């Protein structure tokens, strides 16, 4: 799938089919995170790839906003260093992984930021690092609609040359 | 360009050809930021699209780490609210914009995080918001190499089931 199409169409998926993700797709998703650019190329991240059902269920029970992790085919826990740009860098890596999955028909959603400390021991995350997010992945349980995304108008967030001057050339829909 | 290919190949571009970016490509880049998902769909961002040479030169003079903004065909200043998830959300939006540009042959680089306060008046950014990053875009001045990215080994950052257990199936290069 083309980059722009993936960004245009990607929606959060929180309900997953009981269907495994092929190992080569898992590999590409992990590599997408690994290869993402970071501030001063610090790469302040780790990716813990979870596919064991018992662990997914534990994570789903512990992550306050993500009980659906329990049903996912895969979850990637993103662990970060306590450095200035780590949140920003990891967020870019997560976007890369979610878009790569989406381009292969695999849905995901971002589970964070609170309540993840309790999940650190489950994953063996060292005390000196933070569990920043858990991203569950899976083929959508139901066809994903092509519905319009709920967004502010483009005019409300895009400006031309100076803040407050309208950017609009045309709205795309 | 396919999503995974874009992520695999994207490199920072800091030297730009003297060639304008077509308006429809600018539109797609801005829309890619606008359409990106955010925590609780808060969309805590603004995008100021700059193409006037005088303004690009002013931004290049003020942004400590980004003098090359002066030569870019386009820069998008990303302005954020002072809310908990704004840095993370804006980082996702920037990744979306940079990938969308890259897929069309347009290079970019992230300029932040310091020294941007001085650029706020140039862009008319309200006091209550932060200028988080400026992203210059342009066609690369020289062909972009297909060189290997400088990254830690995949083994150093990817783990299977628990932190410290090797993820490796195979390295892709």
Whole-prediction pTM: 0.96
Within an 8 Å CB–CB cutoff, is residue B35 touching chain A? yes
Name the band, by pLDDT with cuts 50, 70 and 90, for residue B155. very high
* Residue ranges in chain A whose pLDDT is less than 50: 173
Within an 8 Å CB–CB cutoff, is residue B127 touching chain A? no
Name the band, by pLDDT with cuts 50, 70 and 90, for residue B145. confident
Domains and CATH numbers, chain A: 3-157 (3.40.109.10)
Within an 8 Å CB–CB cutoff, is residue A57 touching chain B? no
Whole-number percent of chain B with pLDDT over 70: 96
Q: How many CB pairs under 8 A join A and B?
A: 198
| Cα of B104 to nearest chain A Cα, Å | 9
Write the pLDDT tens digit of every residue in B39-97. 999 999 999 999 999 999 999 999 989 999 999 999 999 999 999 999 999 999 999 99
Write the pLDDT tens digit of every residue in B118-139. 999 999 999 999 999 999 999 9
Query: ipTM score here?
Result: 0.95
Write the pLDDT tens digit of every residue in A130-148. 999 999 999 999 988 766 7
Select the residue of A12, A30, A158 nearest B49 (Cβ to Cβ). Answer: A158
- Nearest to residue A155, comparing CAs of B17, B76, B46? B46
| pLDDT above 90 for B171 | no
């Amino acid at each position: 799938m083309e980059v722009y199409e993936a960004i245009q169409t990607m929606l959060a998926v929180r309900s997953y089919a009981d269907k495994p993700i092929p190992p080569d797709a898992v590999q590409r998703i992990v590599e997408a995170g690994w290869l993402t650019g970071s501030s001063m190329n610090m790469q302040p991240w780790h990716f813990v790839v979870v596919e064991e059902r018992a662990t997914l269920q534990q994570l789903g029970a512990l992550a306050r906003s993500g009980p659906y992790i329990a049903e996912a085919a895969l979850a990637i826990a993103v662990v970060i260093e306590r450095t200035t740009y780590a949140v920003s860098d990891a967020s870019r890596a997560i976007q890369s992984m979610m878009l790569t999955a989406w381009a292969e028909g695999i849905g995901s959603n971002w589970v964070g930021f609170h309540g993840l400390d309790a999940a650190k021991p489950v994953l063996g995350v060292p005390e000196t690092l933070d569990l920043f997010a858990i991203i569950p992945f899976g083929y959508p349980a139901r066809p994903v609609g092509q519905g319009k995304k709920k967004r502010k108008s483009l005019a409300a967030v895009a400006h031309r040359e100076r803040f407050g001057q309208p950017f609009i050339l045309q709205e795309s829909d």
